[in-house]
Chains A and B, each alone.
Chain A
C-alpha cells in the first residue's frame, strides 16, 4: 500500500520561499504523476501542480510563475517550492499520488 510522508517548514514570513518534500514508499515511483494540493483554513482544495518520475510537470496557471517542482527518483521523493509567499498562501499543503493516495498534510502559515 502506497504511503506518502511529507515535511517542511510550517512558519514563513512574507516574501520567503515555501519548501516541502514528500517521500513515497510501498509503491513504484515510476508511472504516476505526483501532486501537490493545498487547502486554506476552512476552504476547499486547490490543485497546485504535478510532476512525474522523469521530471515532466504541469502547474496550475494561477500559481505557475511562483511554483517549482522537482523529483529525486533515487530517494523516491518529490518536492515543492513556492516563492514570494503572502498571507494568502497560508494553507494545509498535501502531497498525493494523482488522486488515490494522500500525505498527512503540512500546515504552512505565512505571517510577519
Chain B
C-alpha cells in the first residue's frame, strides 16, 4: 500500500499570498496518477487536479499541480478568500487507492 504524507499539516497565509502544499509517497505513483481535492466544511471534496498536473473542468488557473514519482506539489498562485479549506492528495495508480491525511489552509 502506498502511504501519502502531506505537509504541512496546517498552513496559515493571507489572501493574495502564494500557497505551496506537498504530498510525498512511500513508493512511486504509477503513471503519476495523483489527484488533489479541495474540501470545505460540511461539503464533499471537489477535484482540482488529476494526473499530477491537469486541472479539472472549471478550476481556476491559479491552481497548479506538479511533480512525479514520489514527490508532488499543489500551488495556489494567489490566494482568494474562498481557497481557505482542507486539501487532500490521492493516488489512484495502484490498489488500494490511498489518500494523504490532508493539509488545512487557514487565514492568517
Contact = CB atoms under 8 A, between A and B. Distances in A.
Interface of A: 35, 44-47, 50, 58-62, 94, 98-105
Interface stretch (B19-27, B60-68, B69-77, B88-96): B88-96
A65 to B, nearest CB: 14
B44 A44 contact: no
B46 interface: yes
Interface of B: 1, 35, 44-47, 50, 56, 88, 90, 92, 95-102
Contact of A45 (B45, B47, B92): B45
Interface of B is mostly: loop
B44 A103 contact: yes
Given A60-B96, A61-B96, A100-B56, A45 B88 contact: yes
A7 to B, nearest CB: 15
A45 B44 contact: no
Contacts of B44: 94, 102-105
A35 to B, nearest CB: 8
A63 B98 CA distance: 14
A100 B101 CA distance: 19
Contacts of B97: 35, 47, 50
Given A44-B88, A44-B101, A102 B45 contact: yes
Contacts of A94: 44-45
9 contacts: A44-B101, A45-B45, A61-B96, A94-B45, A99-B35, A99-B92, A102-B46, A103-B44, A104-B44
Contacts of B46: 102
Nearest to B86: A44
A45 B44 CA distance: 11
Given A46-B99, A102-B46, 7 more contacts: A44-B88, A99-B35, A99-B47, A99-B50, A100-B50, A103-B44, A104-B44
